[in-house]
Amino acid sequence: MTDNEIEKIEIDLFLEAVFRRYGYDFTHYAKASIRRRVRNFLQKTGYTRVSEMIPEVLYNESFFANLVFDFSVTVTEMFRDPDFFLSVRNMIFPYLRTYPFIKIWQAGCATGEEVYSLAILMTEAGLYEKSTVFATDFNDPALKKAKEGIYPIKNVKDFTANYQKAGGNLSFAKYYHAQYDSVIMDKYLKQRITFANHNLATDGVFGEMHLILCRNVLIYFDRELQNRVLSLFKDSLIHKGFLCLGTKESLQFSDVCDDFKLIDAKNKIYQKKF
């Protein structure tokens, strides 16, 4: 057996230990990227073999807390894929406008960049006041960061450029306050957002949503977990509700393919059929 094959056993055992000890299920994550994360994490810990981390993760809860943080944070930015946000503005908002109130679920919100982008967009469309936004993630430290809404000032230049490409025509500076080398998002934007812990791999349905955004989360899951999550989204949406996936994700080949209509192929915006 090669070292590579032995490492595969070690990773399986390690993920099994994490699941049975803490209930966090990474066993249905896409193997190649979880392997990368395990290796990166291993390098930081100073151990040389994955199996050496098993007793540590079983008995040391803070070791596990670091692991969760490392395993789940996806790097994102405000108005990532500006064209998508332009499409939300032009194709989804006219529908949402017709409802007396709007419920939105941002699933896998990580450190919050996307949910603030959405809040800005809704504010400008005059929809924010009648909205409730649920931003969920299973990563508590990331949720805490999202709630704080503090980002490095060096990222703001890119955020601003993206905002403009997404059809924003006001001054982006009105949405944040700068101090030293950070910016904090304006309090107003946080008003209608509820941040909550929710694990897509193990938790259940989430209210009757008009719009669910879950972009670049499914790419980390295997087909089985993808189907579980997509069914969850289907059951959490009202009829004619919208589902937005990442530009490289798709409902094609999934169990819920026939339950949705593709309304923007490039930006992967779907509408639940009646």
Partner 1 sequence: MKKYKAVVIGVSAGGMKVLTKLLSMLPENFSLPVMIVQHLHPSQSDFYIRHFNEKCALTVKEADEKEKIQSGYVYFAPPNYHLLIEEDRSFSLSCDEKVNFSRPSVDVLFESAVDVYHSDLIGIILTGANNDGAYGLQLIKNNGGLTLVQNPSEAESAVMPQAAIAAGGADDILSAEEIGNLLIRLDKKQQTPVYS
Binding site for partner 1 (CB under 8 A): 2, 4, 30-33, 35-37, 74-76, 80-83, 165, 216, 219-220, 223, 246-250, 253
Q: Give 181-184's long-range contacts (Cβ < 8 A, gap of 24+).
A: 181/152, 181/153, 181/154, 182/150, 182/151, 182/152, 182/153, 183/150, 183/151, 183/152, 183/153, 183/156, 184/148, 184/149, 184/150
Helix H or strand E segment including 244: strand 237-245
Beta strand residue intervals within 56-143, DSSP E: 102-107, 131-137
Q: Which residue lies nearer to partner 1 by CB, 112 or 246?
A: 246
Q: Which residue lies nearer to partner 1 by CB, 81 or 137?
A: 81
Cα angle 33, 112, 171; round to 5: 130
Q: Which residue lies nearer to partner 1 by CB, 157 or 273?
A: 157
Alpha-carbon separation of residue 233 from 49, 72, 115, 214, 229 (angstroms): 38, 20, 17, 9, 6
Rounded to a whole number of angstroms, the minimum distance from the CB of residue 108 to partner 1 is 11
Rounded to a whole number of angstroms, the minimum distance from the CB of residue 35 to partner 1 is 7
Q: Which residue lies nearer to partner 1 by CB, 189 or 230?
A: 230
Enumerate residues 6+ apart whose C-beta is below 8 A from 11: 34, 35, 38, 50
Q: Which residue lies nearer to partner 1 by CB, 180 or 253?
A: 253
Rounded to a whole number of angstroms, the minimum distance from the CB of residue 55 to partner 1 is 25
Among 191, 195, 200, CA closest to 227: 200
Rounded to a whole number of angstroms, the minimum distance from the CB of residue 37 to partner 1 is 8
Q: Which residue lies nearer to partner 1 by CB, 131 or 162?
A: 162
Q: Which residue lies nearer to partner 1 by CB, 209 or 213?
A: 213
Rounded to a whole number of angstroms, the minimum distance from the CB of residue 220 to partner 1 is 7
Rounded to a whole number of angstroms, the minimum distance from the CB of residue 63 to partner 1 is 21
Contact 119, 192 (CB under 8 A): yes
* Packing angle, helices 61-72 and 3-22, rounded to 10: 110
Residue 74 DSSP symbol: P
Rounded to a whole number of angstroms, the minimum distance from the CB of residue 39 to partner 1 is 9
